[in-house]
Amino acid sequence: MKERINFLVEKLNHYNTQYYQNDSSEISDFEFDKLLEELKKLEEENPQFKLPNSPTLRVGGDITNDFQTVAHRYPMLSLSNTYNETELLEFDERIRKTVDNPVYVCELKFDGVAISLRYENGIFTQGVTRGDGEKGDDVTANVRTIRDIPLKIEEKNIDKNEVPTDFELRGEIYLSKTQFEILNQEIVEKAKEKGVEEEKIPDLLLKNPRNAASGAIKMKDSKEMAKRKLSCFIYDAYGTPFDSHTNILNHLEKWNFAVSDFYKKANGIEEVLEFIKEWENKRLQLPYETDGVVIKINNLDQREELGFTSKSPRWAIAYKYKAEEAQSKLKSVVFQVGRTGAVTPVANLTAVQLSGTTVKRATLHNEGEIKRLDLHEGDTVFVEKSGEIIPKVTRVVTGLREKNAKPIIFTENCPECETKLIREEGEAAYYCKNENGCPPQILAKIQHFIHRKAMNIDGIGNKTIELFLKNKVIKDIADLYELDKEKILALPNFKEKSVENIFKGVEESKKQPFKFVLFGLGIRHVGASIAEILTDEFASIDNLKKATQEEIAHVFGIGERIAESIKAYFSEPKNIEIIEKLKAAGLQFEQAEKKKPILDGILSGKTFVVSGTFQHFERDELKGKIKELGGKISSSVSKKLDYLLAGDKAGSSKIEKAEKAGVTIISEADFMQMI
C-alpha cells in the first residue's frame, strides 16, 4: 500500500508540474481525477503513509479558526517607492558612493500579496503573510492549495547539494485577470439563482484581483481558498549559498518554482530606465496585474555592504508607474470622523473605472485641500489612486463648472454629534472633542482597545464591536469586562463556543502589562512607544494622573503637545470613571517589578535612541540594560540626545538626524566597552 501511495504521489506531482509549469497535459483531466481519487482513498485508509507533498493537500479541507502569529526569521521589509526618474538617478548616485559600476536586476512589480515560504529538507513546511514586517500570520494550509508552489523540491535533474536544508523564499500570491473574471461571473450567476435584485449584484462582486487574493489567503476553510485558484511568483530567497540575485532566480527555476520570465540584468541606471519605459504599456497586456518595476543590486555581498534603513533595504527601490487618472463628477461631499476625532472630507463621485476598480468615493484630506482645489458643487474633477490604493481628487476642470455653482465649505460642526469643531494651532485637521459621546469615535476607540498591539482580546473583532454597540451590549471599553452572556447569545450567529472564546479572550487580556493598557486607552498622541516611556517614568496610572503638565512634558521624548493631551484626557470625568471600572475589573495599571534606575549608575544622566538589530542583545533587552544602568531611552533623535546606538539595519533617517544634531553615534561594540 505504501508503495502505491508513493507511486501515485510521484506521478500526480509530475503531471501537476507539467501542466502548471510547462503548459503540457500528459493525461486527460478525467484520468488525473481518477488517480487523485484513488490516492485520496488510500490515504484515508492508511494515514500513516500520507506524504507531506501529497497532491491531495492541494484541494484543501483544513479549517482554521485563528491564524497563529509567528515571527519572521528574516524581516519582510517594504521597499522605498519613487514615481519619477530624478529620484531613480539620486538612488543610483547614493549606490555609487559605496559600489563602483553597480549591476542591477529589474523585475516587474506584481500587484498581489507578499508571502514567505519555508522549506526544510526540500519540503514546504510553512507559509507566513507579511503582517507588520516583523510578524505575520501562519497560512500554511491555504498556501498548500496554490498549485505552482512545490510541496517538495524534486531531486531529478538537479544537484541535491545545491538545495539548502533550511531556507526561505519570498513571493507574491496573485489572482490572474482571467480567474478574476471567472469568479465574478460565478458570483453573478449564483446571485441570480437566489433572486438577488439586479441593482444589488455589483455590490457583491470582487473589487479587484489584489483584494480577491488578499481575502482568499486569510480564508478559514482551505477548501474554499483552493477554489480561488491563486498563483504565485517567487522572486527572492534567504539562507541560500548563492552570490547574486540572478543566480538565485536561475536556481529557483531549476527547482520548478514559478519565476517571472520578465526580468533583466541591467549594467547601469540607463539600462534600468530603458526597461521601465519598455514595460510601461507592455505590462498592461500581461494576464496579471503589475504596478511598477523593482530595481535591486545583483551582487549579494554589495547588498550587505549597503545595508538597510529601519524600514527598507538601501540596495533596492520600487519605481511605481504613474497612477491611472479618470474624469468624474462631484455628487456631494461628506465628512467622516476618526478615532481621535479628526474630521476628513470625502468626495462622492459618479462611478468611474480606475486601475481595475470602480471608484465612487475619494479623499479630500482636509479643509486646506478643498481650498487648494477651489472645489465647487457639481464640479468635474480628476481622480487617481494614491500609490494605486487610496483614490484622491487631484484637480478640478474649472472650465466645465456650472455658472452658479457654490463653493464647498468645510463643516463647522461634527457630522455625527453636532459638536462644534476646533482646529488647534499647527494642525491641518479639525477635531470633534466629544470623544465619549460621538458614535464613530466610541466605536473606533473600542476597536483600538481590543487590537493585538493593545489589549489583544482574542475572540472579538471589529465587526463584533459594531454589533455589540448597535445592540447596546456595550457602550464603552469598560463594558467589555461586564459582558452579559445571555445578551450575546441572543444576537445572530453567536453560539455557546464562540461566546466562551470571547469571555476567555477578555479574561486573558487582564494579564496585559500596563504599557499596553495605557496605549489601549487611546489617548491622543500616545502611541505604543510613548506609552512605554510613560510607564517607565511614572510606573502607575495614578502617578501619571497626578503629574503636572510640566512634569510630563519634562520627560525625555514627550514634550508639550503630548503632555497637554494627557492632561486633557484626565480632566474628563468620563475617562476617570472608565479607568476606575477597568481597575475594578483587574487590569494592570501599575508596572510590575519596576526596576528603579541606578542613580549613580555608569549611564546615569545619559539618553539613548536604539535603532537596528544587534548581535548580543534583543532590542528590548538592550533598552532594559540601559535603564538598569541609569540611562534613559527616547524614541526620537534631537539635540538633547547623548547617543544613537546604531545596530545592523539602523534607520538612515535617524542616523542623518543624529549627524546634523551633532549626536554621538555608537556601535554595539562601543556600547559594550562603555558598560
Name the residues annotated as catalytic: 109
Q: 3-state class of 289 per DSSP?
A: coil
404-405-410-413 Cα dihedral, nearest 10 degrees: 70
How far, in Å, CA of 87 to CA of 96, rounded?
Answer: 14
Give burial (CB, 10 Å; 0-12/13-18/19+) of 322: exposed
Residue 333 in contact with residue 347, Cβ under 8 Å?
A: yes
Residue 514 in contact with residue 590, Cβ under 8 Å?
A: yes
Helices H / strands E in the chain, number of each: 24, 21
Residue 353 in contact with residue 385, Cβ under 8 Å?
A: no
User: Length of the chain in residues, anyone?
Assistant: 675
How far, in Å, CA of 19 to CA of 21, rounded?
Answer: 6
State residue 212 phi and psi, 5-degree precision: -65, -40
Residue reference for cell 478559514: 220
Q: Give CA 558 to chain center in angstroms.
A: 27
In 114-148, which positions are buried (b, 16+ CB within 10 angstroms) versus exposed (e)? Answer: bbbbbbeebebeebbbbbeeebbbbbbbbbbbbbb
Task: Give 49's Cβ-side CA count (13 Å radius).
Answer: 17
State residue 200 phi and psi, 5-degree precision: -90, -15
Residue 555 in contact with residue 531, Cβ under 8 Å?
A: no
Query: What does each C-alpha distance from 620 to 86, 610, 633 come to in angstroms?
Result: 39, 9, 11
105 pairs with which residues across the strands? Answer: 265, 296
Q: Which helix (H) or strand (E) holds 113?
A: strand 113-120
Task: Give 205's Cβ-side CA count (13 Å radius).
Answer: 18
CA-based R_g, the chain, Å: 28
Query: What does each C-alpha distance from 527 to 354, 513, 577, 634 come to in angstroms?
Result: 35, 15, 22, 13
| DSSP H stretches of helix in 132-221 | 140-143, 177-193, 209-217
Residue 467 in contact with residue 487, Cβ under 8 Å?
A: no
Angle ∠(65,71,77) on CA atoms, nearest 5: 115
Q: Which helix (H) or strand (E) holds 117?
A: strand 113-120
List the grid coordinates of 223: 477548501
- Residues 193, 198, 203, 206, CA torsion sign: positive
- Residues 497, 502, 507, 512, CA torsion sign: positive
List the grid coordinates of 529: 512607544
